[in-house]
Amino acid sequence: MNTLQQIRFVWKPIVFLICLIPALLVVAATVGISGDLGANPVEAVLDRFGNWALGFIMITLGVTPLRRITGWNWLLRFRRMLGLFTFFYALMHFVTWLVLDRELRLSDIIEDLTERPFITLGFTAVLLLTAMAITSFTALRRRMGRNWQKLHYSAYAVGALGVWHYWWQVKKDVTEPLIYAAVLTVLLGIRLLWSLKHKKPGRHRPPR
């Protein structure tokens, strides 16, 4: 097997299974196989999926800087999968809220979406992630050309909306949203530095 085949047939399935572990742990805790969801299981499931969605967007945004710093070009082969896992966990978080928290009551859902700004922020992030997930397939990517790149820069907006969404609902201890905000600032800062460097006369190619 050459390197590309190893990535495709060995490493991608392994990474896929690792990314699935948080969801499997939630399922295991829900059916009582392992762990405990505490006194408020719906909130616990909601929180776990929300944290993993935010974690995965940070990991996905970290791929390009890490690749450029280390020269490990193979990292790019995992970026789409990681992005799709961000979408998966955000969707599970959204569906948990829709079905278990709001119990599909349309009036409650509309009221939350329009009157609780942190929910509006989260919903905007889910919409952006949906657009990115739909257009993540190679055929569409080719058809969209430069617009694809522009849309996929929204990953930073998703990160910012996710952090803001989290920050807004925390009552006292902002340590966790602050850590996410710091990570996002570093990732965005690296990206901006690189794009400024590439704007020097004669060099127009943006970093991938």
Q: Which of residues 13-32 bind ligand HEM (CB under 6 A)?
A: none
Both tokens of 152, joined, read 């996929």
Q: Which of 168, 169, 181, 207 binds ligand HEM (CB under 6 A)?
A: 169
Task: Please choose, out of 19-27, 45-53, 74-82, 144-152, the segment that lies near ligand HEM by the rule CB under 6 A.
Answer: 45-53
Sign of CA dihedral 14, 19, 20, 21: positive
Task: Give the shortest CB-149-to-ligand HEM separation in angstroms.
Answer: 21
Q: By rule CB under 6 A, what count of residues binds ligand HEM? A: 22
DSSP state of 10: I
CA 25 – CA 21 distance, rounded (Å): 6
Q: Which of 43, 68, 130, 188 binds ligand HEM (CB under 6 A)?
A: 43
**Nearest-10 Cα torsion for 129, 133, 136, 137:** -170
Q: Which of 19, 59, 61, 126 binds ligand HEM (CB under 6 A)?
A: 126
Q: How many CB atoms lie within 10 A of CB 41?
A: 14
What is the Cβ-side half-sphere exposure of residue 100, based on CA atoms within 13 angstroms? 15
Q: Which of residues 83-112 bind ligand HEM (CB under 6 A)?
A: 90, 93-94, 97
| Closer to ligand HEM by Cβ: residue 115 or 138 | 115
Task: Give the shortest CB-101-to-ligand HEM separation in angstroms.
Answer: 6
CA 174 – CA 178 distance, rounded (Å): 6
Measure the CA angle with vertex 51, ends 50 and 57; round to 5°. 95
Separation in Å, CA 168 to CA 118, 148, 162: 6, 31, 10
Q: Which of 19, 45, 119, 187 binds ligand HEM (CB under 6 A)?
A: 119
The closest of 186, 185, 159, 202 to 56, measured between CA atoms, is 159
Task: Give the shortest CB-165-to-ligand HEM separation in angstroms.
Answer: 5
Task: Please choose, out of 3-11, 29-37, 44-52, 58-66, the segment that lies near ligand HEM by the rule CB under 6 A.
Answer: 44-52
Q: Which of 67, 79, 165, 191 binds ligand HEM (CB under 6 A)?
A: 165
List interacting residues with ligand HEM (CB under 6 A).
Answer: 43, 46-47, 50-51, 53-54, 57, 90, 93-94, 97, 119, 122-123, 125-126, 158, 162, 165-166, 169
